[in-house]
A and B are shown apart, each in its own frame.
Chain A
Amino acid sequence: MVNDARVVRPWNRRWSSGAVYVSFLFFTFVVLLPVYWMVRSSLAPAADLIKVPLVYFPAPTLRNFVTLIEQVPFLDYVRNSVVFALATTLVTLVVSFLAAYAFARIRFPGSGIIMWTLVLSMALPDVGTIVPLYRILSSLRLLDTIAGITLVLSSALAPFTVWVLVSFIKQVPYEIEEAAIIDGASLLQIFVRILVPVTRPALVTMGLINFINAWNNLLYPLSFTTSPSSKTLSVSITEVFAGYSPWGKPWELIMAVGVTMTIPVVILVLFSQRAIVRGLTGGAIK
């Protein structure tokens, strides 16, 4: 009798798996609908955006992208975004990796406090740091430069990256490093030949997260850059305009910027999917 009660009847199993699939479908629909709407709006004539009844499948046109290129120095902004995102990713990873190694392997007085101070700094609202950062960049003569915003964002992203990498490096048995030292390896060789390959999933994941953060960041480029030689693509959202006045809101152009900003991220995520999953789950297993 007891065993019978535990048996899951086939119809019951089908029903529950069907419910799961329906839930997944619903969830996917909810997640993808805004994406569809963004793409659809970027390809629609402005007049079709606000028609009632809604136009779900407008005749596609690339005119919004052409207008976008005409209104803002689009190629300059794309180039700046690429340089900014790559540089931020690289600087953050290098600095954070070295810091994480120190926290994971070297015992020094106050290391715990420093680590937690670093982690707590993540709670600081970005906008609250703008004025002091402006002063620092001004005195370093890095205002209105890509180097300036790279420095600022790297410092903002480093705490989280360090936090994640510390747990990864701690999982690597120290005996491996000791063996390498006995074999005559330098610290640099230990980094390059042992630690980097072993922690690669975490590095790839954090690299990707940092790249996306930098690519999408609006606050720092908006606050610290002024000229087309340093502004990034995200700032163009605040610069596109409808007609020749400030009154209307050019949603079709804003959506075109949105699509342009989303495409590289989607491609990156698709190509690094496996590494991201390994990176995100790896640190959780002891």
Chain B
Amino acid sequence: MKKTYSRREFLQLAGAAAAGSVLAASTPAIPLAAKAAPTARKKAPAVLTPRKVRIAVGGWAEQNMKDLLAKTNFTKDTGIEVEVVLRTDTKETELTRLASAVQAGTSPYDVIDFEDELTTSFSQAGYVIGLDDLLPADFWDDFPPEMIAYSKTWSTYKGETFRIIHNWEMPYWWYRKDWFDARGIPVPTTWEEVKPLGKVFTDESKGVWASEDGLIKGAFLNVYLAWITLQAGGNPFDVGPEYKMALEYIYDLMYTSKVLNPASLQKDYNQQNADYIADKVAFMRQWPFFGDVARSPDNKDWFSEDKVAVALPPAGPGGKAGSTYAAAWGFGIVKTSPNLAEAKELLKFLISKEIAVEAMKVGFWFLSARKSVLAAAPQDNWLVKQLKMYTDAGVIGVRPFHPRFVEALTILEDTAAAYLTNQISLDESLKQAKDRLAQLA
């Protein structure tokens, strides 16, 4: 006879099944063999437990990291298996991911390759551990003063180092040497020498401008504000006379001297690069990735070395020492890492002098002005040449810093963009920036 179930029985059955599933899932996963013989599990030798560590890098560095680890036999020498996982490409998404993990007392990875903004957030929030104990006594001797000054500002918090940088790059001053040569014009070396170039190169009817930048809000404009204010000799977040001078200079370049395309305020780096390659720009500030873009197969018909020449940036009132600044990426260890000991071993390995050199040979993502790295780099490479030119000339200042960088840059961008698009006066822009930054403090 067929058994029938009452509703009460069905609900009891379903409830029991659901509760059973949850309990089963929440029970620590013990291997079957261990369940059968718990004593055997207790006595298992420690060597059977594989040592693992996870390192999170951006997609652009994944293969480089894998190649480096394979080439240097890290696993073979230490017995630690390294898994390279991808981190996301923006600070916001990575912050979301790691914040929830750390607050839950764990972490999806042990070591992370991260940028300036995240370093500020992570170190202040206590998400990463201090690394000073891991560094050899002579570690910083291998770094030039500019990198040390940079690290003290951007990689430390309350005197403790939270990130060891391996990538250190700066905006370069790219220019059309063929255009300058054709007109017999020297490269400008000061702000004042830049202004007359509007008359030389800008032809609005053809959409050609002496200069262009990617200044859209969302951290692009802030880079330029910081760059120009540093040239003026100050930090934009102070909203001091140097910042005022920088805004006046940018405004002049846009509307009086007609050097800088005002449409830059709606452009990102992709559009800026595209305009340069479309022969619409005579010179510009841009990160080194433009060199790769210009040399890519897509642009082989356009490319020639004299179209992507690099010179030192025109110096501002602050002098040549702050003509540009560098930004960096580096390694840190998550505080709630499930494999803390292994993470420390991996980090010590990656930042050692020998491995830093090997890393650079694997890929220029690991290129910096670290003495041993720069000395071992191929000297005929365009990027190495540019890096040497800038470091030798002593034009690299420290990137302007604010302890609450992301919020502060939004304030500067909002107020500066309003002035540069003629919505408010300079005084009003400065007042708003000052008031809002004061509230932030």
Pairs of residues from A and B, 8 with the lowest C-beta to C-beta distance, nearest first: A134-B104, A238-B88, A226-B108, A186-B4, A245-B289, A130-B100, A135-B104, A247-B289
B78 to chain A minimum Cβ distance, whole angstroms, is 21
Cα A187 to Cα B5 with chains together (Å): 6
Decide: B85 and A227 in contact? CB cutoff 8 A: yes
Decide: A222 and B292 in contact? CB cutoff 8 A: no
CB contact between A222 and one of B54, B96, B275, B288 (< 8 Å): that residue: B96
Decide: B274 and A239 in contact? CB cutoff 8 A: no
CB contact between B109 and one of A72, A142, A226 (< 8 Å): that residue: A226
- The stretch that binds B, out of A42-50, A168-176, A192-200, A271-279, is A42-50
In the bound complex, residues from chain A placing their C-beta under 8 Å from that of B106 are: 134, 138, 143
Interface assignment of A285: CB less than 8 Å from any CB of chain B: no
In the bound complex, residues from chain A placing their C-beta under 8 Å from that of B182 are: none
Number of residues of chain A lying within 8 A (CB) of chain B: 51
Given A47-B298, A184-B4, A246-B89, A144-B293 contact (CB < 8 Å): no
Decide: A45 and B270 in contact? CB cutoff 8 A: no
Decide: B298 and A244 in contact? CB cutoff 8 A: no
Closest to B280 in A: A52
Per-residue interface assignment for chain B, residues 146 to 189, with 1 indicating a CB less than 8 Å from any chain A CB and 0 otherwise:
00000000000000000000000000000000000000000000
Cα A102 to Cα B10 with chains together (Å): 11
Decide: B296 and A243 in contact? CB cutoff 8 A: yes
Interface assignment of A69: CB less than 8 Å from any CB of chain B: no
Cα A167 to Cα B299 with chains together (Å): 61
In the bound complex, residues from chain A placing their C-beta under 8 Å from that of B99 are: 131
In the bound complex, residues from chain B placing their C-beta under 8 Å from that of A105 are: 7
In the bound complex, residues from chain A placing their C-beta under 8 Å from that of B329 are: 246
Decide: B274 and A222 in contact? CB cutoff 8 A: no
In the bound complex, residues from chain B placing their C-beta under 8 Å from that of A247 are: 269, 287, 289
Cα A159 to Cα B273 with chains together (Å): 49
CB contact between B269 and one of A143, A187, A248 (< 8 Å): that residue: A248
Cα A71 to Cα B25 with chains together (Å): 34
Decide: B59 and A249 in contact? CB cutoff 8 A: no
29 A-B pairs within 8 Å (CB atoms) are namely A45-B298, A47-B298, A50-B274, A98-B14, A106-B11, A134-B106, A139-B26, A141-B28, A142-B25, A185-B4, A186-B4, A187-B10, A188-B10, A222-B96, A222-B97, A223-B96, A223-B101, A226-B56, A226-B108, A226-B109, A227-B83, A238-B88, A242-B270, A243-B293, A244-B289, A244-B364, A245-B60, A245-B287, A248-B273
Interface assignment of A140: CB less than 8 Å from any CB of chain B: yes
Decide: A134 and B58 in contact? CB cutoff 8 A: no
Decide: A249 and B270 in contact? CB cutoff 8 A: yes
A16 to chain B minimum Cβ distance, whole angstroms, is 41
Closest to A101 in B: B7
Cα A142 to Cα B60 with chains together (Å): 29
Closest to A148 in B: B25
CB contact between A248 and one of B2, B29, B270, B275 (< 8 Å): that residue: B270
Interface assignment of A127: CB less than 8 Å from any CB of chain B: yes
CB contact between B274 and one of A51, A135, A186 (< 8 Å): that residue: A51
Cα A184 to Cα B11 with chains together (Å): 19
Decide: B269 and A239 in contact? CB cutoff 8 A: no
Decide: B100 and A131 in contact? CB cutoff 8 A: yes
Cα A139 to Cα B25 with chains together (Å): 9
Decide: B88 and A248 in contact? CB cutoff 8 A: no
A128 to chain B minimum Cβ distance, whole angstroms, is 11
Decide: A138 and B104 in contact? CB cutoff 8 A: yes
Given A130-B100, A138-B105, A243-B289 contact (CB < 8 Å): yes
A151 to chain B minimum Cβ distance, whole angstroms, is 8
Interface assignment of B205: CB less than 8 Å from any CB of chain A: no
Given A71-B59, A248-B293, A241-B89 contact (CB < 8 Å): yes
Interface residues of A in 48-83 (CB under 8 A from B): 49-52, 71-72
Interface assignment of B406: CB less than 8 Å from any CB of chain A: no
Decide: B365 and A249 in contact? CB cutoff 8 A: no
Interface residues of A in 8-64 (CB under 8 A from B): 45-47, 49-52
Interface assignment of A240: CB less than 8 Å from any CB of chain B: yes
In the bound complex, residues from chain A placing their C-beta under 8 Å from that of B293 are: 243, 248
Cα A98 to Cα B28 with chains together (Å): 29
In the bound complex, residues from chain B placing their C-beta under 8 Å from that of A130 are: 96, 100
Interface assignment of A251: CB less than 8 Å from any CB of chain B: yes
Decide: B58 and A246 in contact? CB cutoff 8 A: yes
B70 to chain A minimum Cβ distance, whole angstroms, is 18
In the bound complex, residues from chain A placing their C-beta under 8 Å from that of B125 are: none
Cα A185 to Cα B29 with chains together (Å): 41
Cα A227 to Cα B108 with chains together (Å): 9
19 further interface pairs, Cβ-Cβ under 8 Å (given A222-B97, A244-B364, A248-B270): A46-B298, A47-B299, A135-B105, A138-B104, A141-B29, A143-B106, A143-B108, A186-B5, A187-B10, A222-B93, A223-B96, A225-B108, A226-B54, A235-B88, A238-B93, A245-B60, A246-B60, A249-B270, A251-B270
In the bound complex, residues from chain B placing their C-beta under 8 Å from that of A187 are: 4-7, 9-10
Most-contacted residue by chain A among B6, B93, B275, B299 (CB, 10 A): B93
Decide: B97 and A223 in contact? CB cutoff 8 A: yes
Closest to B101 in A: A134
Cα A190 to Cα B117 with chains together (Å): 59
CB contact between A249 and one of B7, B88, B268, B288 (< 8 Å): that residue: B268
Decide: B105 and A243 in contact? CB cutoff 8 A: no
Interface assignment of B86: CB less than 8 Å from any CB of chain A: yes
Closest to B15 in A: A98
Per-residue interface assignment for chain A, residues 234 to 266, with 1 indicating a CB less than 8 Å from any chain B CB and 0 otherwise:
010011111111111101000000000000000
In the bound complex, residues from chain B placing their C-beta under 8 Å from that of A52 are: 207, 275
Cα A222 to Cα B101 with chains together (Å): 11
Decide: A51 and B100 in contact? CB cutoff 8 A: no
Decide: B90 and A238 in contact? CB cutoff 8 A: yes
Cα A95 to Cα B293 with chains together (Å): 52
B91 to chain A minimum Cβ distance, whole angstroms, is 10
Interface assignment of B278: CB less than 8 Å from any CB of chain A: yes
B60 to chain A minimum Cβ distance, whole angstroms, is 4
Given A47-B274, A187-B5, A227-B83, A239-B97 contact (CB < 8 Å): no
Interface assignment of B103: CB less than 8 Å from any CB of chain A: yes
Cα A247 to Cα B271 with chains together (Å): 13
